[in-house]
Amino acid sequence: MSRRFALLDVFAKAPLQGNQLAVVLDSEGLSDERMQAITREFNLAETVFVLPPERPGHRAHLRIFCPAYEMPFAGHPTVGTAVLLALETFGPDAAGQDAVFVVEEKVGDIRCAVALHSGKAGHAIFDVPRQAERIEAEIDEAALAAMLGLEPSQLGCENHRPSVYSAGVPYLLAPVRDLAAIARARPVIQNWKSVLPEGVGSVYLYTRETTTNGHQFHARMFWLGEGIIEDPATGSAAAAFAGAVAAFDQLPSGTHRFVIEQGFEIDRPSLISLEVDIENHGLDASRIGGDAVVIGRGTLDI
């Protein structure tokens, strides 16, 4: 059976930047084992399988897999698939079209808004379905610094300290002093599991110093999956990071917008937009957005 697929670069306006994504559009009848095997065949950080929605009025049901397991939620797959679904809806007349729809993921229903730039590219923003919550955890900052190849004095960014937050996927959030420190970071594999709190598999480093004016944070994400991997752009980490920004920066009520740089150290520059709504000194809602461009289409004959 032939199944259509598309390859996209997400959180980038141009091909060969951002985070790579495979989306299988015709996924009905595939078992979990088959989806996992196809994901390993693409060998990208994540592959999305598009299925008919479970609820009337929704656009699609999405299953998201990384090479080793299924994800309950991920940011760049949501952005990329939303742009692709809008392109599928409008076809040759896609340029200039807008769409709003709901997709289903394991974490919950997600409302997406898409503005299409052309027949191959667009911008999507989605409501984070589960707001970031802090996970209480003991963090040995000296050990964390050593695990990242840094000095303890390089950890911390103004009043930000290492913390664990989750908006569906937990991350150890590690603020660092400046761009020089974040560029120096190198995971020490043998110390990885002994430093990270139980249930946390990823470290998200961030600093306020950026490469470009108008951006608010610069980030890197290290993940122990099939070995140490650096992710070019991590929307689920940005969703978790919303909790840290709200808490440490003590933001006033209202909507606050940030642009996060990521992937610059691995030549996959990515820009993630993060919006947070603050009410009564707490995080009330958040949204993740970015661009995506289709770089190829094909069929799987399996």
Q: What is the pLDDT of residue 191?
A: 87
The whole-angstrom separation of Cα 39 and Cα 277 is 35
144 and 162 Cβ atoms separated by less than 8 Å:
yes
Q: What is the pLDDT of residue 227?
A: 62
In three-state secondary structure terms, 299 is strand
Q: What is the pLDDT of residue 189?
A: 85
Q: What is the pLDDT of residue 226?
A: 62
The whole-angstrom separation of Cα 291 and Cα 302 is 31
**Helical pair 235-249 and 75-90, crossing angle rounded to 10 deg:** 120
- pTM assigned to the model: 0.95
In DSSP notation, 198-220 reads TT--EEEEEES--SSTT--EEEE
117-136 b/e (C-beta count within 10 Å ≥ 16 → b): beebbbbbbbbbbbbbeebe
Q: What is the pLDDT of residue 143?
A: 96
Tell me the pairing of strands 121-127 and 19-24. Answer: unpaired
- Output the tens digit of pLDDT for each of the chain's 302 residues: 899 999 999 999 999 999 999 999 999 999 999 999 999 999 999 999 999 999 999 999 999 999 989 999 999 999 999 999 999 999 989 999 999 999 999 999 999 999 999 999 999 999 999 999 999 999 999 999 999 999 999 999 999 999 999 999 999 999 999 999 999 999 998 888 889 999 999 999 999 999 999 999 999 999 876 666 899 999 999 999 999 999 999 999 999 999 999 999 999 999 999 999 999 989 999 999 999 999 999 999 98
Q: What is the pLDDT of residue 224?
A: 77
The whole-angstrom separation of Cα 134 and Cα 132 is 7
Which residue among the candidates 28, 46, 136, 230 is catalytic per the annotation?
Answer: 46
DSSP conformational letter for 160: B
102 and 110 Cβ atoms separated by less than 8 Å:
yes
Q: What is the largest CA-CA distance in the chain?
A: 57
Q: Nearest-CA neighbor of 181 among 155, 161, 202? A: 155
Q: What is the pLDDT of residue 291?
A: 98
Q: Is 28 a catalytic residue?
A: no
> How large is the C-alpha radius of gyration of the chain?
19
Q: What is the pLDDT of residue 185?
A: 97
Q: In sequence order, what E strands does 128-243 have? A: 133-134, 163-166, 170-175, 202-207, 217-225, 227-231
